[in-house]
Structure 1
Amino acid sequence: MPTQLFTYWKLHKIPILLALLSLGFYYTFAYHLERTDFIKLITLCGVLFFLCYKLIQFEKWNFRFLLGVGLLFRLIFLFIEPNLSQDYYRFIWDGELVRNFINPYLEVPNTLIANQDLLISNADILYQGMGELSAKHFSNYPPLNQFIFALATWLGGQSILGSVIAMRSLIIISDIGILYFGRKLLKNLNLSPHLIFWYFLNPLVIIELTGNLHFEGVMLFFFVTSLYLLSIKKWILAAVIYALSIAIKLIPLMFLPLFLKHFGFKKSLQFYAVIMATLLVILIPFISSEFIVNYSQTVGLWFSNFEFNSGLYNLIKEIAVRFDAKPWELIKTYGRIIPFITISIVVLTTFLRKNQNLSVLISSMLYILTTYYLLATIVHPWYIVFMVLLAVFTEYKFPLAWSMVVILSYYAYTQTDFKEHLGLLAIEYIVVYGFLIFELFRHHGQKLLFRKN
């Protein structure tokens, strides 16, 4: 055994050292970083992205090694509360409500906290922790997410950290599932299975999902599992699993029209029917007329009242204010227009691309999601994780560049008024558009040139 270990060390010395160095940086990130320390934040992220690249470069065919280090990077965060996000306080609050048979879509924390009979563990801590903005709105997290929150609070007992550990464990398990089904899907698409490690080892994925407890990973587990099932022609089970993905995060709803061409009209209607039936079953415990009104209004607020890390909108706003436009009116107008543009892009992508092919279907999803986030008024860093996963199955890699520079948006958290730095946002979007235009020309412009010749 010592001889084998020595031989392994000799053959993999540099990757092992890189992995140990990464572990040290992730430990520093988890236990010794305040989100107001912007320089330390971007330095850690920059180094971790470089180390991620080198690890994949050296060991891309060594599945066990990369699986092991990816798990170790995640386990470092297991016993610590998130340091870059306060959303988990609302997750636990909602979970406590559901566990006590209170509908989180019908009651706002501001009202409930005044109730002396409220049976919520750590209610005051959760209420203060979630922040004023969250406390005055109904929950905007879909139903399956609510059940997961409830499960986490039950497993965590009356401990906030216990609930965090439960949620984090589920997110880590989901990432393992993404790795498993992602590799199988890559093989079915005749792509190299090692490409999934661009997701599994991506620092943004590890920090925002495992570290900050965002449930995109659980949604993506169901999503990629559904795509894999489609690749082996099990469309009914794929529809059920796809519905579970929507019931975690609503984003996959945007891709449903693409299946019209993938399946054909009759079969796609059957696919949609299975999805709708599954969603209705999940919705039953929460459904009411008030739920529909409250949830739609809460979700609508994010499109017409708030802004964060927006590219195009910030550019338009800077121009508009020079002509005496009022920002609070501009965002409402912009928020009403963007859904129509997004729907138009979805319709065009549905009927103009050959989505019968699964590879083309996935690239169409990436086109739609890219357009949506480039137009959106809110682009939180963890939103880009979905694009990172889609990119793994396509010829495009610009989402990897975006996952690296989106961390610049955290500058806003260093300011007491959360004021963004337009120069840093400009750098972020110059990089994103630069990579995007380069790849569009490389993959499509060259084809047009060859055709002309």
Structure 2
Amino acid sequence: MLLNPVFFKLNKTPLLLALVSLLLYISFAYDLIRTDYIKLVMLYGALWFLFYKLVQFLKTNIKLLTWLAFGLRAIFILAIPNLSQDFYRFIWDGRMLLEGFNPYLFTVDSFISKGEFPVAQAQELYNGMGTLNASHFTNYPPINQLCFVIAGLFTGKSILGSVVIMRLLIIIADFGTLYFGKKLLTKLKIPAYNIFWYILNPFIIIELTGNLHFEGVMIFFLVWSLYLLHIGKWQFAAIVLALSVSVKLIPLIFLPLLFQKLDWKKSIGFYLILGSITLLLFAPFYASEFINNYTETVALWFQNFEFNASIYYIAREIGYSFRGYNEIAIIGKMTPIVVIFFVLIITFFRKNKTTIQLITAMLLVLSFYYFTTTTVHPWYIATLLILSVFTKYKFPLVWSIAIILSYLAYINVDKADKSENLWVIALEYLIVYSVFVWEVFLNKKKEVKKPPLEKI
């Protein structure tokens, strides 16, 4: 097909756009430094524009969109991530397991500070991950750890080799997301090309394939589970969702929402299956210190870390004005309570019986969590983006382009003032909240008023 002259003639414009995209991705993967902000934003903006036009041109050509999505991912195969250093910790955890250590029981600092080097290239990995990452216990669940082990098992002492293996695992997961995403869209009578707003999105290609964030693997299991749930195989869906939770904990926030989709008896069965599988996967790592270490690390995200937040930053400023110091310890403890209360409201006071209603509820709940939490790293938005594919809401798609502004927070990294640029963050959230309010509230009111006009 690709060598057919007629094909080239009919697809000259999208093929030209694809070629330009390929060249820009090469520049992004191999010739970009994170602190080169102008180049970063310009490259990202150009790639996003090209992506948008490609989906528009080729929405009836699923096969070509698929080739493009995974061809563009292949560009990153030999690239060392340039926007995130988390992969060094991934490699460390995998090698720790292969050396017989339980990664949940030791911080990296606990070895390096004593001059001990338990894994190959320990000093290089420590330098790469940074002191913040090295100072706390790992918080990556067991299936995620399995990915790290696979990377270490096949590449020995090669950091680049480990990067390649982890990248291949994430790309394979994206194939799975594409497969089950298309099947679910078809079942829901939504255009199949919608999945490419996720799969072909530069944000997803760069943050997951490029920067090696395993949200892609978690999302694969989540979409697979939603498909199984839709076709009535709820027991199998519970097992697959447990695998999703065992990559990243975030799907736990969705569990109460399943109550209406399943009746109360099936709900109990679903929760029991998911809980049992999750505990079984964590069991090999259990030790007396495990629970304390793990909960302590998870709590850091609520009570110590702050990055690219929105409502939290407003609450923080109010706290400063009244108390004179950062109230993160208090606000961080209150946030989970507020989120749980919101989840319960959506669970019991909103219809979540159909699959689309359920996924929409998931999108709203997770959005509320990210709007109120203390830390929103760019790659977190991936889950919102995949959920939006199955709904009428597009604000996560808008966020997937605005999120690049969060990287400008690093603009002060080499200066005395290392604080985030709050004006840039305000611009990011002004864009996101504007679209969110329009879609969820204002446009909804317009739709409610429409039927009486039709009757007239």
TM range (shorter): over 0.9
Q: What's the counterpart of residue 246 of structure 1?
A: 245
Corresponding position: 1:367 with 2:386: no
Q: What's the counterpart of residue 263 of structure 2?
A: 264
Give the whole-Å Cα distance in 1 for the aligned partners of 2:418 and 2:195. Answer: 35
Q: What's the counterpart of residue 186 of structure 1?
A: 185
- Give the residue type in structure 1 aligned to 2:437: I
Alignment TM-score, normalising by the size of structure 1: 0.96
Deviation of the 1:183 alpha carbon = 0.3
Give the whole-Å Cα distance in 2 for the aligned partners of 1:358 and 1:336. Answer: 32
Q: What's the counterpart of residue 134 of structure 2?
A: 135
Helix, strand or coil for the counterpart of 1:409?
Answer: helix
Q: What's the counterpart of residue 445 of structure 2?
A: 445
Report if aligned partners of 2:117, 2:123 keep a CA contact under 8 Å in 1. Answer: no
- Give the residue type in structure 2 aligned to 1:139: T
- Give the residue type in structure 2 aligned to 1:387: L
Corresponding position: 1:289 with 2:288: yes
Q: What's the counterpart of residue 197 of structure 2?
A: 198
Q: What's the counterpart of residue 383 of structure 2?
A: 386
1:54-95 Cα distance to aligned partner (Å, 9 max, x none): 000000111111111111111111001100100000000000
Mean Cα displacement is larger for which, 61-70 or 310-319? Answer: 310-319
Give the whole-Å Cα distance in 2 for the aligned partners of 1:116 and 1:422. Answer: 39
Report if aligned partners of 1:156, 1:165 keep a CA contact under 8 Å in 2. Answer: no
Alignment of 1:47-66 (within 5 A): 47-66=46-65
Q: 1:117 to 1:45 in 2, by over 3 A?
A: closer
Q: What's the counterpart of residue 315 of structure 1?
A: 314
Corresponding position: 1:408 with 2:408: no
Q: What's the counterpart of residue 214 of structure 1?
A: 213
Q: What's the counterpart of residue 172 of structure 1?
A: 171
Mean Cα displacement is larger for which, 99-108 or 361-370? Answer: 99-108
Give the whole-Å Cα distance in 1 for the aligned partners of 2:67 and 2:291. Answer: 44
1:385-421 Cα distance to aligned partner (Å, 9 max, x none): 1100000000100000011011101012232254211
Deviation of the 1:132 alpha carbon = 0.5
Corresponding position: 1:397 with 2:394: yes
Helix, strand or coil for the counterpart of 2:324?
Answer: coil
Helix, strand or coil for the counterpart of 1:131?
Answer: helix
Helix, strand or coil for the counterpart of 1:285?
Answer: helix
1:317-346 Cα distance to aligned partner (Å, 9 max, x none): 33443445201xx11111011111100111
Q: What's the counterpart of residue 232 of structure 1?
A: 231
Q: What's the counterpart of residue 428 of structure 2?
A: 428
Q: What's the counterpart of residue 82 of structure 1?
A: 81
Instruction: Give unpaired runs (5+ residues) of structure 2.
Output: none
Report if aligned partners of 1:246, 1:253 keep a CA contact under 8 Å in 2. Answer: yes
- Give the residue type in structure 2 aligned to 1:406: I
Alignment of 1:26-37 (within 5 A): 26-37=25-36
Report if aligned partners of 1:138, 1:295 keep a CA contact under 8 Å in 2. Answer: yes
Helix, strand or coil for the counterpart of 1:61?
Answer: coil
Corresponding position: 1:161 with 2:177: no
Alignment TM-score, normalising by the size of structure 2: 0.96
Give the whole-Å Cα distance in 1 for the aligned partners of 2:346 and 2:262. Answer: 15
- Give the residue type in structure 2 aligned to 1:161: L
Give the whole-Å Cα distance in 1 for the aligned partners of 2:128 and 2:265. Answer: 49
Mean Cα displacement is larger for which, 8-17 or 230-239? Answer: 230-239
Helix, strand or coil for the counterpart of 2:174?
Answer: helix
Report if aligned partners of 1:222, 1:241 keep a CA contact under 8 Å in 2. Answer: yes
Instruction: Give unpaired runs (5+ residues) of structure 1.
Output: none
Give the whole-Å Cα distance in 2 for the aligned partners of 1:407 and 1:302. Answer: 21
RMSD: 1.5
Deviation of the 1:119 alpha carbon = 3.7
- Give the residue type in structure 1 aligned to 2:434: G
Q: 1:82 to 1:93 in 2, by over 3 A?
A: same
Report if aligned partners of 1:35, 1:41 keep a CA contact under 8 Å in 2. Answer: yes
1:192-241 Cα distance to aligned partner (Å, 9 max, x none): 11100000111110100000000000000000000111111111111100
Report if aligned partners of 2:41, 2:404 keep a CA contact under 8 Å in 1. Answer: yes
Helix, strand or coil for the counterpart of 2:285?
Answer: coil
How many percent identity over aligned positions?
Answer: 49
- Give the residue type in structure 1 aligned to 2:33: E
Mean Cα displacement is larger for which, 120-129 or 212-221? Answer: 120-129
Give the whole-Å Cα distance in 2 for the aligned partners of 1:451 and 1:65. Answer: 40
Give the whole-Å Cα distance in 2 for the aligned partners of 1:400 and 1:117. Answer: 46
- Give the residue type in structure 1 aligned to 2:396: P
Mean Cα displacement is larger for which, 225-234 or 114-123? Answer: 114-123
Give the whole-Å Cα distance in 2 for the aligned partners of 1:418 and 1:404. Answer: 24
Give the whole-Å Cα distance in 2 for the aligned partners of 1:437 and 1:110. Answer: 45
Give the whole-Å Cα distance in 1 for the aligned partners of 2:323 and 2:279. Answer: 47
Report if aligned partners of 1:156, 1:164 keep a CA contact under 8 Å in 2. Answer: no
Report if aligned partners of 1:35, 1:414 keep a CA contact under 8 Å in 2. Answer: no
Give the whole-Å Cα distance in 1 for the aligned partners of 2:379 and 2:430. Answer: 19
Deviation of the 1:22 alpha carbon = 0.5
- Give the residue type in structure 2 aligned to 1:363: T
Mean Cα displacement is larger for which, 97-106 or 194-203? Answer: 97-106
Corresponding position: 1:69 with 2:75: no
Q: What's the counterpart of residue 341 of structure 1?
A: 338
